[in-house]
Structure 1
Amino acid sequence: MRTATIETTHDDAALVAAALAPDNTSEMTTTTDGDRVVTRIERETTSGLQSTVDDYVVNVDVAERVVQTANRPTNHNT
């Protein structure tokens, strides 16, 4: 079994983790610790692990952007 643990920091780690949850496979666990999102990935093969890590990194980037956009104040001219 091959494993990788990825830790990232975010202003709203819980929200980023929640945004990632739907994309997690059964070989992945994601937790939060303060401002950190910690994801452990287990795969049978090195190539499978690399592919899952690559996908996860893209998903983290998208989740962070979505959270930042959602938390951005808006100016509505009414």
Structure 2
Amino acid sequence: MSENTRTATISTTHTQPSVIRAAIAPDNTDEMQTAVSGSQVETTIARETTGGLQATVDDYLVNLGVAVSVATSCTQHSRPTTNQSD
């Protein structure tokens, strides 16, 4: 990183942080580092320009929102399968 690099760190709390990290990881760029610590997902983004940083943060937040929605939906709708005979 150069001395002019701008950075942002986003820390969010989740009941399934490793699931969220796995869901957002494919969209991370080389300038992004994501880690899990306890119930926290922390992503640090580094970009050379303020505009680039803002755009990457915006994209990350959209991806994070989708990941949380999908994880929540899957958790709410997953039930054990039972065999019922007629």
Give me the whole-angstrom Cα distance separating, in 2, the residues matched to 1:65 and 1:73.
12
Consecutive unaligned residues of structure 1, counting only runs of 5 or more, are none
Q: CA RMSD in A?
A: 1.6
| TM-score normalised by structure 2 residue count | 0.84
Give me the whole-angstrom Cα distance separating, in 1, the residues matched to 2:35 and 2:78.
30
Give me the whole-angstrom Cα distance separating, in 1, the residues matched to 2:9 and 2:60.
11
| TM-score normalised by structure 1 residue count | 0.92
2:73 aligned with 1:69: yes
Q: What does 1:1-78 align with in structure 2 at a 5 Å threshold?
A: 1-74=5-78
Percentage of matched positions with identical amino acids: 50
**Partner SS, residue 72 of structure 1:** helix
Give me the whole-angstrom Cα distance separating, in 1, the residues matched to 2:31 and 2:57.
11
**Partner SS, residue 11 of structure 1:** coil
Offset at residue 69 of structure 1 (A): 1.1
Give me the whole-angstrom Cα distance separating, in 2, the residues matched to 1:42 and 1:73.
37
Segment drifting more, 13-22 vs 67-76? 67-76
